[in-house]
Chain A
Amino acid sequence: MKFKAFLTENGVNLLEKRFLPAFDKMGKTCYLFLTKDHLFFLHNLLNGDGVQCIAQFRIDVLFDDYRISSQNDDRIAFSLDVSLLYRAVKSSVSICTEFSGGLASNRLQIKLVKKLPPNCTQPMPFLTFETKGYKSAVIQDVPISKPLSRSQVVELQTALDSAQDLPPTLVQVQDPNQLQNFVDRMKHVGDVLNVTISKHGDLQVQISTTLIRLGSEFQRLTVIGEKSQAPAEDRNLSAQARSERAIARGDAQSVEVSVKHFLKSLQCHLTKPDSAFYGIAPQGACLTVIFQFLVPGTRQTDKSISLHCRLPVLDSGSN
């Protein structure tokens, strides 16, 4: 199998300034899944435990001169330590800047290699970053796992396909930072967060313990997918009563997630999304949050980058 490509300046910026800092917070290791058209960063996809995070980049967003070949339909997948990758990209960037002296032709090459590390008898796989400067070259090796076998890749692809299902109703949170600020302060109060999403565009997050109930309700959010009108008589009720009635009518769903998981998913704000969409999967299987990136200067979704998280549900609330 072979993989070699040059990272574009845009690609380096995206990874170094926005996405790798977020992935670093999502989990220690993740899968890198390369195909002919896309690069995926996948967290917790195969182990059922924590927050699943799926990031997809179209190749032309990150790379120039992208070459990939394998006996597995030209797909390659392996796992690595995200912090090592982040560190390698960061220092490659500083080397590039140091040696470039204004030359734009300084390029960062990334490729898959097998090398014999010191004190080892067996060659090991690495993702290598190579910067060819004016007078010298700098090479950084990021250790990676043995690339996944054909059956393992199929397993990964299947998990990826099923993780792409959209919930029937999504509500748009225009200011993800406001939500983050609030939940960040709420974490001192309890461990379990109840999230209720209605087809009317209401999002309610609440912590309940024996001593306290604390929650926040966001109303009249933009709805994508199945939507309905809130009945006028509900308007003056308390947030709690409103959501109970909406659930009873079948217009809303409620799930419980861990506060820690929710805060972890909010780390995706480091990627600087333009907004976030929240939805509950059918049967309350998980809480999905999809981050939207707009083409800079427009209101159009940038379809070349996608990022979403799926949070495990602790206990299904009422459907």
Chain B
Amino acid sequence: MNSSPAIEPDAPDLVCQLDNVQGMVDALTCVRWKRHQDALVELSEHGIVLIVEESGCLQAKVYLQRELFTKYEYGAEGRPRFGISLGLLVDCLNTFSSPGHSNTIEIKYPGPDMELLLKSVDTLNSCIYSEIRTRIPETSEWDYNFEQAGTAPLTFTVKSAALKEAIDDLEWPGSSVQISLQKSPPCVTFRGEGHGDLQIDFMYYANTDLLLAFHCDTEVSYGYKYKFLKATTANIPGNVARENRGSKLTIGRGGMLKVQHLVSVAKALAPQVESAGYQPPSRIAYIEFFVKPEETA
């Protein structure tokens, strides 16, 4: 009846609340190997995925399932995607995690100008707010197709802290690391050559507290650029070591390496509860890295 154009506010694609910002900071910091990185964010009714990539050789994904959030209202059709600066997002979220502030944050997308909107919740007389510009993402898909190597997966699970230490130690030999899986005796070897040699062996039967699982039916060996391998463990948050978590490594067809970590997003519980080792699955963020082997250009 009324001829004046009514501007109906659309429901936002996503409004969600998280009760522990620090957890999200920890998860995203895991994939921050440079000060400035552009990330691709994809929203769906299952949760939020953030993807970063470097020079066609290294890709990382952070999966934040909807169960991590205390509220998750999804109103989009399809799966909205946008580009955002990872460094800016992490530094911004970090300000919400200041001591003395409530850790609960509300995230909304999109704002009037397609921004990502953040604001603190449940604080009495003070609040923190932020609007971050987003970009239209590039349309080309990154080529990180991960396929199983053979009839059975080639995979091993190693204590995350031990993996990080091994990779840190491999810094001095040189710029390339060879990862080999041997069937018998079952063993994973990390080897670096260059300024001297360093070889680190994880024997399956010898160190069952370090090498937690191992499946290998064909022996394989691939080389990976050190700096990309380092990026997969450099920023693992402290709670991963404290909670004794394991990281799963899988070598796919052509030598593509997949590294998976679990990062707790829950609030820190009392020490005796943490040491029980059990975390409800929904309070964990999944981090995945894909590293292309050196042979592939």
| Chain A residues within CB distance 8 Å of chain B | 175, 177-178, 181-182, 185-186, 188-189, 210-221, 238-240
Closest A residue to B126 using CB positions: A218
The interface residues of chain A lying within 8 Å CB-to-CB of B129 are 214-217, 238-240
- How many residues on B have C-beta within 8 angstroms of the other chain's C-beta atoms? 20
| Chain B residues within CB distance 8 Å of chain A | 85, 88, 91-92, 94-95, 97-101, 125-133
The interface residues of chain B lying within 8 Å CB-to-CB of A238 are 129
Closest B residue to A210 using CB positions: B133
The minimal Cβ–Cβ distance linking A319 to chain B, given in whole angstroms, is: 24
Task: Give the complex CA separation of A152 and B95 in angstroms.
Answer: 45
Q: Given A219-B126, A220-B125, A238-B129, answer yes or no on A214-B100 (Cβ-Cβ < 8 Å).
A: no
Task: Give the complex CA separation of A216 and B127 in angstroms.
Answer: 6
Q: Given A214-B130, A215-B129, A220-B125, answer yes or no on A189-B92 (Cβ-Cβ < 8 Å).
A: yes
Task: Give the complex CA separation of A182 and B102 in angstroms.
Answer: 13
The interface residues of chain B lying within 8 Å CB-to-CB of A210 are 133
Q: Name the one of B91, B98, B125, B131 contacting A182, with C-beta atoms under 8 angstroms.
A: B98
Interchain Cβ contacts under 8 Å between A and B, 21 examples: A177-B100, A181-B100, A182-B95, A182-B128, A185-B91, A185-B94, A185-B98, A189-B91, A210-B133, A212-B88, A212-B132, A214-B92, A215-B129, A216-B126, A216-B127, A216-B128, A218-B126, A219-B125, A219-B126, A221-B125, A239-B129
The interface residues of chain A lying within 8 Å CB-to-CB of B100 are 175, 177-178, 181
Q: Name the one of B85, B95, B97, B133 contacting A186, with C-beta atoms under 8 angstroms.
A: B95
Task: Give the complex CA separation of A178 and B91 in angstroms.
Answer: 17
Closest A residue to B97 using CB positions: A185
The minimal Cβ–Cβ distance linking B60 to chain A, given in whole angstroms, is: 21
The interface residues of chain B lying within 8 Å CB-to-CB of A177 are 100
Closest B residue to A208 using CB positions: B131
Q: Is the CB of B132 within 8 A of A178?
A: no
Q: Is the CB of B95 within 8 A of A212?
A: no
Task: Give the complex CA separation of A175 and B126 in angstroms.
Answer: 12
Q: Is the CB of B101 within 8 A of A213?
A: no
Known: A185-B98, A216-B127. 11 other contacts (CB 8 A): A177-B100, A181-B100, A182-B128, A185-B91, A185-B94, A189-B88, A211-B132, A212-B130, A215-B129, A217-B126, A217-B127
The interface residues of chain B lying within 8 Å CB-to-CB of A213 are 130-131
Task: Give the complex CA separation of A185 and B91 in angstroms.
Answer: 7
Q: Is the CB of B95 within 8 A of A189?
A: yes
The minimal Cβ–Cβ distance linking B225 to chain A, given in whole angstroms, is: 28
